[in-house]
Amino acid sequence: GDSVTQMEGPVTLSEEAFLTINCTYTATGYPSLFWYVQYPGEGLQLLLKATKADDKGSNKGFEATYRKETTSFHLEKGSVQVSDSAVYFCALRGMDSNYQLIWGAGTKLIIKP
Amino acid sequence: DADVTQTPRNRITKTGKRIMLECSQTKGHDRMYWYRQDPGLGLRLIYYSFDVKDINKGEISDGYSVSRQAQAKFSLSLESAIPNQTALYFCATSDNRRVGGYTFGSGTRLTVV
């Protein structure tokens, strides 16, 4: 069945560092891919998405490109801020799961000033 | 008003008590979900409903029940609360399209003592 694997955390970076959080997936067909963010004490919010191969989703300085050849959707940001400290979840939505979201385990990001 | 509203936001209850968590949405979505999140862990699906007459168990449904009172309302009950049900509970909604994301409520923090 469909699955999502993302890098384990916590990931600790200094402010203004470059961020990559790896996400790979297994799915048949052409799923849509998502990144959600959960700030401390809050619910999950959609950060960005991509619905077909080679699409790039972007929001708030974050980017992720749908790479079908490597089955990946890595999250990147060029210069992180303390306010980016949160838990980030990668997810996919495809036919095999009857279009339910399949979640990665989440990666906690800590940004130090 | 929020698109997805959960009540209560926080609740402390005693072991053995029955408790209901409520969720209502204004998105007009057919699909609704209940998730549980434990500290430092990801999301686990408790129950989901694709429409008012279609309710399904998720991966951790034991000890929980649900009621879909209307398209907009989906409540979660703990029949006899136990301490290991202490967690953060999220309600979410979605349409049935591959490209759509989920909309989450702000969560209910439940403590069973």
pLDDT digits (tens, 9 = 90+) for A67-88: 999 999 999 999 999 999 999 9
Closest partner residue to B42 (CB to CB) among A42, A99, A106 is A106
> Under an 8 A CB cutoff, do A34 and B98 touch?
no
Please tell me the distance in Å from B19's CA to the nearest CA on chain A.
Answer: 21
Q: What is the mean pLDDT of residues A9-13?
A: 94
Q: What is the pLDDT of residue A91?
A: 95
Cα(A111)–Cα(A11) distance, integer angstroms: 8
Q: Which residues of chain B have pLDDT under 70?
A: 1
Instruction: For chains A and B, count residue pairs whose Cβ atoms are closer than 8 Å.
Output: 52
Q: Given a cut of 80, is residue A65 above it in pLDDT?
A: yes
Please tell me the distance in Å from B35's CA to the nearest CA on chain A.
Answer: 11
Q: What is the pLDDT of residue B40?
A: 75
Say if CB B90 and CB A43 are below 8 A apart.
yes
Give pLDDT tens digits for A40-57: 888 999 999 999 999 999
Closest partner residue to A100 (CB to CB) among B40, B48, B105 is B48
Return the H-helix or E-strand segment holding A107.
Answer: strand A107-112
Confidence of residue A89 (pLDDT cuts 50, 70, 90): very high
Q: What is the pLDDT of residue B97?
A: 82
Q: What is the pLDDT of residue B41?
A: 76
Which value, to the nearest 10 degrees, does the dihedral of the CA atoms of residues B24, B25, B26, B28 take? -120
Please tell me the distance in Å from A15's CA to the nearest CA on chain B.
Answer: 23
Say if CB B48 and CB B32 are below 8 A apart.
yes
Q: Given a cut of 80, is residue A96 above it in pLDDT?
A: no
Closest partner residue to A94 (CB to CB) among B43, B98, B106 is B98
Say if CB B37 and CB B92 are below 8 A apart.
no
Contacts of A49 in chain B (CB under 8 A): 99, 101
Q: What is the pLDDT of residue A95?
A: 78
